[in-house]
Amino acid sequence: MAGRTQTILLLLGMSLVRNYADTELKLDQAVLTVTSFLPERVGVLYVSNACYECLPQLLLTAGPASPEGVPSNVSVVVSTRFPLAMDVFAGRDETNVVCRWQQSYGEQGHYLVSVKRVPAEKNQTEVSCTRTVQKEPQNSYLPLWIAFAVLAAVTLLYFLGYYISMQQCTQERCRWLPCKPTSHEPNSPDCSRPVAETTKRRRLLSLDTFRGFSLTLMIFVNYGGGGYWFFEHAAWNGLTVADLVMAWFVFIIGTSVGLAFHAMTKRGVSRMQLVRKLAWRTVVLFVIGVCFLNYGPADGPLSWSWARIPGVLQRLGFTYFVLALMQTCFGIKDLDSYQLGNWWASVRDVLLYWPEWIIAAALETLWLCLTFMLPVPGCPRGYLGPGGIGDYGMYRNCTGGAAGYIDKWLLGENHIYRHPTCKELYKTTQPFDPEGILGTINSIVMAFFGLQAGKIILMYRQQPWSILKRFLIWAILLGIVSAILSNFTQNKGIIPINKNLWSLSYVTTLSSFSFVLLGIMFYVIDVKNWWGGQPFIFPGMNSIFVYVGHSLLGSYFPFSWEMKSPASHTELLLQNLLGTAIWVFIAYLLYKKKFFLKI
């Protein structure tokens, strides 16, 4: 009778486990069930591999097995984003670890750990933790691979059709093409001509394409990126796809300022007119960022008591203001007179703008001094960590170090971002703004590297290969600086790569990437004319409209809808790709109508 009772109770416990497994989980979740046959309490501690120097956290506790030997069962939801290190302890002492393992859990999977005593040597027993998979996880990356294959096929078909059209092109039949290789009109762009003969007559299409590519990727990740972790911002140190786009955008601002202000100066626009223009644009960007992109409809009326002051457009606006003011004050109107004849002609793109280099160096020195020398109450000098359970819990309230302290001191805790990316993983409690004051200094420095790219294009516009060589040199130099600062590691360098802080290594790394990417696009689009930049060039030429529009309307249909399968990446990825594609199509329609929103 006792054996039958034990079997019934065991089967009842396992049925409860199966019922828990049948419940609908969210994205990046699995079920872990611990079945304990020990006569004492059992607990499980865990640490995510993505959490650097973190204190172990209690995952679950299971009571002792019954005197009849019926085990206790406890189920819990675990994250599948990163591998988890597990420690099982017996009794009340968390240091009495009896089992230890590290495992990556699959999405929607159901895992079982059976804890029991087994015979050992010399009539002794030891605790064994047997791990089995009760329900196989889903292949969460299959929708992404399918989407990638479809996009690759569409891209291949587009270029194949474009190539065939170019082979059979005549002036009358190919007016829709960006260039007409058989055109004999004196003012029409010719695909066979080198960039030296065409850059004076048309926009730098590679820059518009780079801007549009960054904006398109930004829309996709802002809409959710299909729910994949690498399309979200890194919890603290390191890089994901989402950490690239804003830095690229800042770099493009610098390049655009260099080209646009040089053109306006050559047209005879006075410095006072330039100052009025840059001041107006800065104010408009700041107002849009604070008043329109600060909250969602579900938040109710905007209140100045909790309105967030920093933001993406605010940072972009202030960065633009500083760069444009520098270019207005120190820009050179007649660059042709410095082309040849001087011993320093090969580095004239640097030496001619020495006042701007001094300003950029001063700004970076200011960032370094404030970051590593400013005393922060309760925190060590130069602290760059996330606080919370990081650094083994020694600096729980030191999130962001000097950067977080300055924002709270100048703006107040109620006016900065309260849900930083480190909050979930590092269990932080302090607000921290990724678009804060100290990081804006390095945003200006990154835009300055973009301005340097613009100067290279202006100085060597008749020599496209010189442009490409200088882009490559800058990419290598900045990459070496990044390697030294980060020590080729994610967390152990002098200054880790960190988007939240806009650390110096983040700036140099993303600037290196930007030089490479812009150089490739410049070669393919402006030098060889192999590609017209479609479809990215369309949002790139209406960036303000598209950015503000996608931010305001992202939660409305058809950009978003109630999903039938919220636990699957498939529908969410389709939703995010469709929302992104709609904005690209809207930008295309505006391009066809020759509508370009300018501030």
Active site residues: 233
**In whole angstroms, how far apart are CA 100 and each of 130, 334, 530?**
11, 70, 56
DSSP class of 525: I
- Using CA atoms, how far apart are residues 576 and 389, in angstroms rounded to an integer? 33
DSSP class of 523: I
Question: Scanning the structure block, which residue is given the tokens 């865990």?
Answer: 46
Q: Is 346 helix (H, G, I), strand (E, B) or coil?
A: helix
DSSP string computed for 66-126: PTT-PPEEEEEEEE-SS-EEEEEEESS-TT-EEEEEEEPPPTT-EEEEEEEEEE-STT-EE
For residues 445 and 364, is the Cβ–Cβ distance under 8 A?
yes
Q: Strands of 342-489 (E only): list them.
A: none
- Using CA atoms, how far apart are residues 470 and 557, in angstroms rounded to an integer? 46
Q: Which sign, positive or negative, has the C-alpha torsion 469, 472, 478, 484?
A: negative
- Using CA atoms, how far apart are residues 227 and 143, in angstroms rounded to an integer? 11
**Which has the closest alpha carbon to 74: 94, 54, 60, 92?**
60
**Which has the closest alpha carbon to 100: 126, 128, 71, 64?**
128
